[in-house]
Amino acid sequence: MFWADIIAKNLVGKGPHLVDDAKTPSGRVHVGALRGVLIHDFVHKALLEQGEKSRYTYIIDDFDPMDGLPVYLDQEKFKKFMGVPLSKIPAPEGEGTYSEYYARDFQEVFNGLGANPEILWSSKLYQEGKLDEAIKIALDKAEKIQSIYHEVSGSEKVKGWLPFQPVCPNCGKIGTTLATAWDGQEVTFTCEKDMVTWAQGCSYSGKISPFGGNGKLPWKVEWPATWFYLGVTVEGAGKDHSSKGGSRDVANHIIKEVYHQDPPADVAYEHILFGGRKMSSSKGLGSSARAVYEILPPEVLRFLFARVPYQRAINFDPSEPSTIPDLFDEFDRGQKAYFSKENPDLAKTWQVSQIGEVKEEFNLRFNLLKELMVNLKSEEEIFAEAEKLKSSSLSSIDKEAIKLRIKYVKIWLEKFGQTQEQKEEVSLSEKQKQLLKLVSTELPETTSAEEIQNYIYNKGKALGLTPKEAFQAVYVALLGKSQGPQAGSLVLSLGLEEAKKKFSSYD
Ligand SMILES: [Zn+2]
């Protein structure tokens, strides 16, 4: 049985359900958070399929302080924002806030993968007073919360500690404030100079109402407070949060003993290890959700997350030569299983990976397509090959599917293809370089391979190059080796613009 169906089965009859997940948008979002979004999406959809009512929310924790500076940021420009809520920091570029900038990018990725939770911004939940009741309860029961922290996680808070951090009205920071008294209306607080190492407070002290967005709960209290407000019934998190005495444990005690509700069902999931050192350094492919989204079709990426049960780590290294081709093969077997009604588990895994309408399509294996493309077969030749294998003509659905796969094989060849075939070191003569410059600026717009072939031949001749020398320059610039197929078709297969770009950058 598909793992999300098992989770849902245990929740049948306990609804209506609210499945929730959350993320602090402190920078580019890591692919690990994508696993969270998709696990919750699979569970939410499994609940619906089993006839339960279910709602799926995703909280962007944008009221959290900036507590670290990602290396890709302008450090000088952003260090003054350390300690300030992410929702009050300007975006690194363009309009809007820092948190919107990164959260929207992440949202675009998971929406593209067919996960469409309702987005809630924690800064807005606070501002609109949605968490006021939970804040009042937490402040009234501050001692109880303190003893839960102590008993569950062993952490000691100073006497009189309150589970609340105001935004300092003087310096705007939220990461530096310490509340020390609560009179039922206002909290007394100080903006501490040295409470945290990553930000410095301004020493302001005063009184402020804790409601309506004037501050926030610490996250181990905020977590159960949002469960209380929303009525969350299912929320998982990375396994490291779910250890005994960990933040989940503390939150579970608080929801029971302070808010008098049952904790949501947990789905404590394992990590995804994305790529080896080799890939991130030499290929410039980071481990952000966006980076992995760009190298796989959405359905195949969904499949990657669906096929590994949440309790198991995913070790995904796309720079390994067989990783991506194998994933496509497994995906194709999933389609076959679905339509032939064999291997129900694999069939279900494939089915939940589909976005929109489920279609049966004929496609070529990734490795075969790769072979054909390395040998510079045209789209028409690839279709002809596919028709031979299918033993009938291709439908328009088949052709679309093959075209899409061609796109991702191209990406694969560009990003990872050369790990198997080292570039030869070939140096070009001055005249050959001159030829490339000439071709890069003067090659006429044409779709005729013959015309391109002749153009290169004639220009080479005019420069005093032999045909062999002229075409060698083209191969070196485009393929990194001294030999290749007919130069005209090679240029066309890459696209004129792309080929010209490569010619002009060669030196
Ligand atoms: Zn301050």
- CA of residue 333 to ligand 1 center, whole Å: 59
- CA of residue 169 to ligand 1 center, whole Å: 7
On the question of pLDDT at 325 being above 80, the answer is yes
Task: Classify strands 272-274 and 314-316 as parallel, antiparallel or unpaired.
Answer: parallel
CB 303 within 8 A of CB 314: no
Tokens 């009205």 label which residue? 169
Average pLDDT of the chain, as a whole number: 92
Per residue in 15-65, pLDDT tens?
A: 899 999 999 999 999 888 999 999 999 999 999 999 999 999 999 999 999
- CA of residue 81 to ligand 1 center, whole Å: 12
Helices (H), 113-218: 122-127, 132-140, 142-148
Residues 91-111, mean pLDDT to the nearest whole number: 96
Per residue in 428-466, pLDDT tens?
A: 899 999 999 999 988 888 888 888 999 999 999 999 999
Q: What integer pLDDT is reported at residue 259 of this predicted model?
A: 98
CA distance 382 to 399: 10
166, two tokens: 């105001």
- CA of residue 170 to ligand 1 center, whole Å: 5
- CA of residue 88 to ligand 1 center, whole Å: 14
- CA of residue 153 to ligand 1 center, whole Å: 29
Q: What integer pLDDT is reported at residue 302 of this predicted model?
A: 98
- CA of residue 166 to ligand 1 center, whole Å: 10
- At 159, is the pLDDT very low, low, confident or very high (cuts 50, 70, 90)? confident
Rg (CA), the chain: 29
CA distance 289 to 304: 13
Q: pTM for the full model?
A: 0.81
SS3 category, 407: helix
Per residue in 76-93, pLDDT tens?
A: 999 999 999 999 999 999
Q: What integer pLDDT is reported at residue 278 of this predicted model?
A: 39
Least confident of 67-71, 402-406, 475-479: 475-479
Residues 381-403, mean pLDDT to the nearest whole number: 95
In 3D space, the residue among 174, 134, 97 whose CA is nearest the CA of residue 254 turns out to be 134
- CA of residue 192 to ligand 1 center, whole Å: 7
- CA of residue 202 to ligand 1 center, whole Å: 4
Residues 294-320, mean pLDDT to the nearest whole number: 93
- CA of residue 141 to ligand 1 center, whole Å: 26
- CA of residue 201 to ligand 1 center, whole Å: 5
- CA of residue 152 to ligand 1 center, whole Å: 32
- CA of residue 190 to ligand 1 center, whole Å: 8
Q: What integer pLDDT is reported at residue 27 of this predicted model?
A: 92
Instruction: State which of 25-34, 117-126, 231-240 shows the largest mean pLDDT.
Output: 117-126
- CA of residue 142 to ligand 1 center, whole Å: 23
Per residue in 332-385, pLDDT tens?
A: 999 999 999 999 999 999 999 999 889 899 999 999 999 999 888 899 999 999
458, two tokens: 């004639």
Per residue in 253-279, pLDDT tens?
A: 999 999 999 999 999 999 887 765 434
- CA of residue 157 to ligand 1 center, whole Å: 21
Tell me what percent of the residues of the chain surpass a pLDDT of 90.
Answer: 74
SS3 category, 19: strand
DSSP run (H or E) holding 386 = helix 379-390
Per residue in 277-300, pLDDT tens?
A: 434 433 445 678 998 999 999 999
